[in-house]
Amino acid sequence: AQKITQTQPGMFVQEKEAVTLDCTYDTSDQSYGLFWYKQPSSGEMIFLIYQGSYDEQNATEGRYSLNFQKARKSANLVISASQLGDSAMYFCAMRELFGNEKLTFGTGTRLTIIP
């Protein structure tokens, strides 16, 4: 079974600062993928970034980067130069790389950017 833990229910960050959202995971699978999704107040789920368990380099997508520490089973999301539009819920999720593709989600972190 897979489990995702997000220990920060809410965070407040000043605009233009960087922010790190924590995510730890637990799995017995050797091959897995880690995902981050953003859910703004309008409710849709927006894919942000992906990291595969065998990827040697940390993933980056624009202002988003993933700090992947496999030995610690952590996959923290880093948002650089935060903007007001970054205010949203952020969910970490994972799935097996081979076989069933269902996603297991964490409980999320509500990020609020302060002007």
Q: Give the x/- contact pattern for other proteins in 29-68, rule: CB under 8 A.
A: --x-x-x-x----xxxxxx--x-x----------------
Query: Nearer Cβ to other proteins, position 75 or 106?
Result: 106
Distance CA(54)–CA(74), nearest Å, equals 14
Cβ count within 10 A of residue 78: 16
> Nearest Cα to 103, choosing from 21, 15, 7, 27?
27
- CB-CB contact of 25 with 5 (8 Å): yes
Interacting residue with other proteins among 66, 86, 91, 113 (CB under 8 A): 91
Alpha helices in the chain (DSSP H): none
Stretch that binds other proteins, among 22-30, 62-70, 73-81, 96-104 (CB under 8 A): 96-104
**Which residues in this chain contact other proteins in the complex, by CB under 8 A?**
4, 31, 33, 35, 37, 42-47, 50, 52, 91, 93, 97-98, 100-108
